[in-house]
Structure 1
Amino acid sequence: MDKRVGWALAVLAVFVGWWQWGGYGVVLALTVVVFWLLLQFYRALRVMQAAGAAPVGHVANAVMLHARLNTGMTLLEILPHTRSLGQKLSDPPNEAFAWTDANGDRVEVTLVHGRLTQWQLIRAAAPEAEAAAGADAAQAPAQPGA
């Protein structure tokens, strides 16, 4: 949710509380707003604690992470998919992070003003494919007159 919408709803709740029940309504509205902020803080704390326990920049499967990303996601929404903090590639306002899996595949994301704008999957070259290409080149017959 956009911060402006959240604060507008908080102000609206305080106004409606005052209008309906006076001082008691204001206290109730402020209690609800503080409770909501505590829930958001606890959620962020849990995500960061789980991500901080894993190696930086490592993800179980880069291809699956790439498939789960959507434009507009925040880093707090990306971290539960990665279960680790990303390797930082650049600073704000165009922050870039990268995660690599055990096969060498890599996902690089770019956040502009805290929102995901672009991401790319960089596949590692398969050693079997390189070995097969080298073997085919070695077995190819020489061209006469070359």
Structure 2
Amino acid sequence: MNFRKYLVPAFGLLLLVFAWNQYGWQGVAVVSGAIVMFLLLHFNRTMAVLRRAANRPIGYVDSAVMLNAKLKPGVNLMHLMALTRSLGELRSPKDEQPELYRWTDGGGSWVDAEFMNGKLRQWSLTRPEATDAAEPPAQTPAP
């Protein structure tokens, strides 16, 4: 169960009660201002990530290999969107768990990411197979 969505508001209320008991209305005003500032900073970061992602194609990343190297289990989708600067291409049915997203680069490689309850659970990198083997350059005889 995700306790964070209950603990953060409970902690805020606890701070408000503490401020009231220690400093009265002035303490409540200071703590309320700090809580509003925290919420505004979080909202501003979210909007900046979404603004950058809106200017790129859905599911595109500069390098799928570099994205694969930077991923860690447990990060949220917003963090991944900040890394790729694009929205992921949704590959699973909408509003079903787990959510599957794909980011593809210009070379045809892609990263499939699986999210469970908003957290990255696992991912895989897929690279295209070479169609024809590179031939060594022809050697010219030395005179």
Q: TM-score, normalised by structure 2?
A: 0.85
1:26-50 CA distance string (max 9 Å, x none) = 1211111111111101100000110
* Aligned residue-pair number: 131
Q: State yes or no: 1:49 paired with 2:51.
A: yes
Other-structure match for 1:96: 100
1:19-68 CA distance string (max 9 Å, x none) = 11012211211111111111101100000110111011110000110111
CA distance in 1, matches of 2:47, 2:129: 37
Matches within 5 A, 1:57-96: 57-90=59-92, 91=94, 92-96=96-100
Other-structure match for 2:126: 122
- By percentage of residues, which structure has more helix? 1
CA distance in 1, matches of 2:52, 2:45: 11
1:49-108 CA distance string (max 9 Å, x none) = 101110111100001101111111001111111111111111332111101111100100
CA distance in 1, matches of 2:4, 2:48: 21
Secondary structure of 2:99's counterpart equals strand
CA distance in 2, matches of 1:20, 1:123: 60
Secondary structure of 1:127's counterpart equals coil
1:103-141 CA distance string (max 9 Å, x none) = 100100011110000100011112343x76xxxxxxxxx
Structure 1 gap segments, 5+ residues each: 133-146
Instruction: After superposing the two structures, state which structure 1 stretch, 6-15 or 50-59, moved more.
Output: 6-15
Structure 2 gap segments, 5+ residues each: 136-143
Q: CA deviation at 1:13?
A: 1.5
When Rg is computed on C-alpha atoms for both structures, the one with the higher figure is 1
CA distance in 2, matches of 1:2, 1:119: 24
CA distance in 2, matches of 1:61, 1:93: 27
Q: CA deviation at 1:4?
A: 3.0
Identical-residue share of aligned pairs (%): 37
CA distance in 2, matches of 1:35, 1:18: 19
Q: TM-score, normalised by structure 1?
A: 0.83
